[in-house]
Amino acid sequence: MSKSEISIPAFDIKQQYASIQAEVSAAVLEVLASGRYIGGLVVESFERQFAAYTGVRECVACNSGTDALYLALRAFHIGKGDEVITTPFTFIATSEVISAVGAKPVFVDIDATTFNLDLQQLKAAITPKTKAIIPVHLFGQPVDMTVLMNIAQAHNLIVIEDCAQSTGASWGGQKLGSIGHIGCFSFYPTKNLGGCGDGGAIATNDPNIAAKLRLLKEHGQKTRYVYEEIGINSRLDAIQAAILQIKLRYLDIWNRQRQAIASRYQQFLSQVPGIITPKELAGGQGVWNQYTIRILDNKRDWVRAQLLERGVNTMVYYPRPLHLQPVYKSLGYRPGQLPVAEQISQEVLSLPMFPELSVEDQDWVIYSLKDCLG
Ligand SMILES: Cc1ncc(COP(=O)(O)O)c(C=O)c1O
């Protein structure tokens, strides 16, 4: 194959579908024939299986990871006058929901080696108004949940784990999403457990919180047409549940494939000058939703263009931290205030990462990076 014919995508969900097409098609047809498209046995059985997989008592399925986070905040009565601490280096959904419930997001800088919340700095951001922390296990790598839970317990704070990018990852042998008070998952198609549309779930060990979540996600009604609270409509439809149920059976295999790719990238890229490869914390088992390196010396965009010329597609997650987004102007953050997140956002480059990425393609990514960095 000549260089000009090579095209390696940053992610490719079609290959995964092809590998389970027969099973998925049969399950979808069964739902279609059943006439039960919203709720019902398939959704309930997925909820049970996902709860068992995550190691929690209850799972409440909903329409997206964003809704999962929103519902979690509502279930803990977080709202106007409250502060919620989170990272500025994440997808907007994490902080958007804090604002949506009327609370104030408080951004704490990140650690340059893990891209996750800097837990040393977190304590200093706690005020009498702080009600909760939303740690994000970014790119599939766990936050140190031992340290985080100690801080939270000492200050009586709720911990809402954002596991959108980390389904199947663990800390200290426990699945993420089962360690904090509540865990929120996204089944967006490119996530580790991705549906064929939107989807999300909330994991909890507290039956009262689960009941509250079910109330809120169904317009605040327990009895039909009797509304007890202002809720929303957030349902995982039966077709998605049927597909996710099949995919859940493969999740550990796919995550191991991601881990193998990450090990290879690590092995061949960690010594390349001008690159910093991601580090895993001892005590955690990550699932590599992304394999994100840092490109030093202001060369990120140049390297990205060079890779594209060689047929290697990459992504930049995230080019601008949330505290400097126009939507948060009113919070009064200034450039330079969270310097690590600001610098990292100029350096990060996510390499092709999906379970089916062939060894040949991995080699081409590695070769191309070495080639353009000399
Ligand atoms: C860290 C993080 N949180 C929350 C979400 C929101 O998930 P969804 O797209 O399912 O609403 C995402 C999705 O990209 C995410 O990456």
Give average pLDDT by consecutive 10-residue segment, the chain, 374 residues.
78 96 98 96 98 98 98 98 98 98 98 97 97 98 98 98 98 98 98 98 98 98 94 97 98 98 97 95 97 98 97 98 98 98 98 98 98 88
Decide if 1 is inside a domain. Answer: no
276 shares its domain with 311: yes
Taking the CA of residue 66 as reference, the ligand 1 atom at the shortest distance is 11
Domain that holds residue 18: 14-245
Same domain assignment for residues 116 and 204? yes
Nearest CA to ligand 1 atom 13: 164
Query: Can you tell me the distance from the alpha carbon of 286 to that of 167, in angstroms, rounded to the nearest whole number?
Result: 9
Residue 186 Cα to ligand 1 midpoint, Å, equals 6
Which atom of ligand 1 approaches the CA of 138 most closely?
1
Residue 285 is part of a domain; what is its CATH number?
Answer: 3.90.1150.10
Q: What pLDDT is stored for residue 5 in this prediction?
A: 84
* Residue 3 located in a structural domain: no
CA distance 235 to 241: 10
Do residues 81 and 155 both lie within one domain?
yes
Residue 225 structure tokens: 């047409």
* Residue 145 domain-assigned (yes or no): yes
Residue 65 lies in a domain: yes
Q: Nearest C-alpha to atom 8 of ligand 1 is from which residue?
A: 65
From 84, 115, 186, the mutation candidate for ligand 1 (largest count of ligand atoms within 8 A of CB) is 186
Query: Quick check: is 4 in a domain?
Result: no
Compute the distance from residue 66 Cα to the ligand 1 centre, in Å: 6
| Ligand 1 binding pocket mutation candidate from 71, 89, 165, 288 (most atoms within 8 A of CB) | 165
Same domain (yes/no): 96, 209: yes
Q: Do 153 and 219 have their domain in common?
A: yes
For residue 197, the CA-to-ligand 1 centroid distance in Å is 13
- Do 297 and 163 lie in one domain? The reply is no
Tell me which of 229, 245, 261 is where a domain ends.
Answer: 245
Question: How much is the pLDDT for 4?
Answer: 64
CA of 109 to the centre of ligand 1 (A): 20
- Pocket lined around ligand 1, Cβ cut-off 6 Å: 64-66, 90-91, 93-94, 136, 162, 164-165, 186, 188, 198, 200
Domain final residue pick, 222, 245, 268: 245
Residue nearest to atom 7 of ligand 1 (CA): 65
DSSP 154-205: HTT-EEEEE-TT-TT-EETTEETTSSSSEEEEE--TTSSS--SS--EEEEES
Measured in Å, residue 1 CA sits from the centre of ligand 1 at 37
**Ramachandran quadrant class, 185 (left: phi over 0; alpha: psi -120 to 50; beta: rest):** beta
**Same structural domain, 188 and 65:** yes
Asked whether residue 6 is domain-assigned, the answer is no
| Domain containing residue 111: CATH number | 3.40.640.10
Domain end call among 186, 221, 245:
245
Distance 34 CA to ligand 1 centre (A): 31
Tell me how far the alpha carbon of residue 173 lies from the centroid of ligand 1, in angstroms: 24
Q: How far apart are CA 2 and CA 171, in angstroms?
A: 44
In terms of DSSP bridges, do strands 200-204 and 58-62 run parallel, antiparallel, or are they unpaired? antiparallel
Which atom of ligand 1 is least distant from the CA of 187?
10
Ligand 1 centre to CA of 162 (Å) is 8
Please tell me the distance between residue 97's alpha carbon and the centre of ligand 1 in angstroms: 11
Give, in order, the Cα–Cα distances in Å from 50 to each of 6, 153, 161, 246, 345. 38, 27, 16, 11, 33
**Kind of pairing, strands 158-162 and 182-186?**
parallel
Q: How far is the CA of 183 from the centre of ligand 1 (A)?
A: 13
Residues 198 and 86 in one domain: yes
> Are 362 and 230 contained in the same domain?
no
What pLDDT is attached to residue 2?
53
Residue 30 inside a domain? The answer is yes
233 with 257, same domain: the answer is: no
**pLDDT score at 206:** 98
For residue 124, give the DSSP letter. Answer: G
Amino acid sitting at position 107: F
Would 263 be classed as within a structural domain? yes
* 258 and 241 within one domain: no
Count how many domains the chain has.
Answer: 2
Which residue's CA is the nearest one to ligand 1's atom 12? Answer: 164
Kindly state whether residues 145 and 262 are assigned to the same domain. no
Atom of ligand 1 minimally distant from the CA of 198: 10
